[in-house]
């Protein structure tokens, strides 16, 4: 077998006695620079050491509070300041959440993720969300919420309600962040992740590819995620869904293989995390999705809608799983 070219050490010491492994941007850029076949081979090795490579986790999303957000995230259909056509809606009543969660469970999802277009939750809103979490958890689904930045004590309330995962994405490299979002900082996002971790909730955090960032920015995002101690249990990698009316409506799409490389880099640097092939899947061919799974993605959003944009129909995903011999977990 040919050795994989290694300009630099590609795997830091991850033995139990080693201090927390730290990846450098140079090391992750070196992964990106590998010939694709070598990179995929390496990602598969790491994947198979830690997971059954034929199993995929499925989470279903529901937007429980859509639109009207105060923040200026340049990619987002829900930011009030951009004319995207997304209507502002009130927090969804509990019975509608229950109906959606039941439908997701019936379709075979293992986790139900509820998203709200907030900078962060107000205490009176949080009380309603904790009720949703308690109810969905009681239906036998894992729970995840994404509510924006948390204030002191809010993570404990979520934990107490039975929350399994909190999603809060770093979104992009700290040095590119200011070109995407100005109304809050990358450091604010790290702070919220710390509060989530401290409360004993599992962390779901990833980012978006295709916002005009460089490969170095992509490598730096992966490093910032992988060097969280511990790394997030769940890492959603989104391919930008361009939204008319936002500043990113016309950004040139990233090459599909570059997206695959990003998933492989996430897999290699975060060996035991679930890496989720997230937004942008509807625009991908079945073959590109299969390459993403080969690169180590082992989770998807399942159901015909993300928050405000489309996702492949559950039946199309079922058929793809069948054709690839993939099993849900």
Query: 212 CB contacts (<8 Å, ≥6 apart)?
Result: 179, 248, 251, 252
> Shortest gap between Cβ of 56 and ligand DTB (angstroms)?
16
Q: How far apart are CA 189 and CA 191, in angstroms?
A: 5
Rounded Cα distance, 117 and 64, in Å: 9
Binds 240, which of ligand SAM, ligand SF4, ligand DTB, none (CB < 5 to 8 A, cut-off by type)? ligand SAM
- Give the pair of three-digit tokens for residue 235: 């890492």
Q: Is 42 a catalytic residue?
A: no
> How far apart, in Å, are the Cα atoms of 278 and each of 38, 219, 300, 301?
24, 18, 6, 6
Q: Is 309 one of the binding residues for ligand DTB (CB under 6 A)?
A: yes
Residue 115 touching ligand SAM (CB under 6 A): yes
Contacts of residue 276, Cβ cutoff 8 Å, sequence gap at least 6: 57, 59, 206, 234, 235, 236, 237, 297, 299, 300, 301
Q: How far apart are CA 53 and CA 56, in angstroms?
A: 8
Q: Which of 121, 148, 231, 296 binds ligand SF4 (CB under 6 A)?
A: 148
Among residues 42, 58, 111, 144, which one is catalytic? Answer: 144
* 308 touching ligand DTB, by CB under 6 A: yes
Stretch that binds ligand SF4, among 69-77, 191-199, 256-264, 293-301 (CB under 6 A): 69-77
Active-site annotation holds for 292? no
Does residue number 209 form part of the binding site for ligand DTB (CB under 6 A)?
no
Q: Which of ligand SAM, ligand SF4, ligand DTB, none interacts with 303 (beta carbon under 5 to 8 A by kind)?
A: none
H helices present in 108-185, as ranges = 123-138, 154-160, 174-177
| Residue with Cβ nearer ligand SF4 (80 or 329) | 80
Smallest distance from ligand DTB to CB 3, Å: 36
Nearest alpha-carbon partner for 186 in 176, 196, 194: 176
Instruction: Please list, in sequence order, all residues whose beta carbon lies within 8 angstroms of the beta carbon of residue 125, skipping any fewer than 6 positions away.
Output: 65, 91, 116, 118, 147
Binding region for ligand DTB (CB under 6 A) out of 177-185, 194-202, 259-267, 305-313: 305-313
Q: Which of 42, 58, 111, 204 is catalytic?
A: 204
Contact call for residue 211 and ligand SAM (CB under 6 A): no
Catalytic (active site) residue 113: yes
195 and 152 in contact (C-beta within 8 Å)?
yes
Q: Which residues are catalytic?
A: 69, 73, 76, 113, 144, 204, 276
List residues binding ligand SAM (CB under 6 A). Answer: 75-76, 78, 115, 117-118, 146, 148, 168-169, 171, 208, 238, 240-241, 243, 279, 307
Residues in contact with ligand DTB by CB under 6 A are 61, 77, 115, 146, 167, 169, 206, 236, 238, 241, 278-279, 306-309
């Amino acid at each position: 077998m040919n050795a994989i070219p290694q300009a630099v050490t590609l795997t830091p010491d991850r033995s139990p006695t080693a201090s927390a492994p730290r990846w450098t941007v140079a090391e992750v850029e070196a992964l990106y620079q590998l010939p694709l076949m070598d990179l995929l081979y390496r990602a598969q090795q790491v994947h198979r050491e830690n997971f059954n490579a034929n199993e995929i986790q499925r989470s279903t999303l529901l937007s429980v509070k859509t639109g009207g957000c105060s923040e200026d995230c340049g990619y987002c259909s829900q930011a009030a300041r951009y004319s995207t056509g997304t209507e502002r809606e009130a927090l969804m009543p509990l019975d509608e959440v229950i109906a959606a969660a039941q439908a997701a469970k019936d379709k075979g999802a293992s986790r139900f993720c509820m998203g709200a277009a907030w900078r962060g939750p107000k205490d009176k809103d949080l009380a309603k969300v904790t009720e949703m979490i308690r109810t969905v958890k009681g239906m036998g689904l894992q729970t995840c919420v994404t509510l924006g930045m948390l204030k002191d004590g809010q993570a404990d309330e979520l934990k107490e309600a039975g929350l399994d995962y909190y999603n809060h994405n770093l979104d992009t490299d700290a040095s590119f962040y200011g070109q995407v979002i100005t109304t809050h900082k990358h450091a604010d996002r790290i702070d919220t992740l710390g509060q989530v971790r401290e409360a004993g909730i599992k962390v779901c955090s990833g980012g978006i590819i295709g916002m005009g960032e460089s490969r170095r920015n992509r490598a730096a995002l992966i490093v910032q995620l992988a060097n969280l101690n511990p790394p997030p249990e769940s890492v959603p990698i989104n391919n930008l869904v361009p939204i008319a009316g936002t500043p990113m409506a016309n950004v040139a799409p990233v090459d599909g293989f570059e997206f695959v490389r990003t998933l492989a880099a996430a897999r290699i640097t975060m060996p035991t995390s679930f890496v989720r092939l997230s937004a942008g899947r509807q625009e991908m061919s079945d073959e590109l999705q299969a390459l993403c799974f080969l690169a180590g993605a082992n989770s998807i959003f399942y159901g015909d809608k993300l928050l405000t944009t489309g996702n492949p129909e559950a039946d199309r995903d079922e058929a793809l799983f069948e054709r690839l011999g993939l099993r849900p977990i």
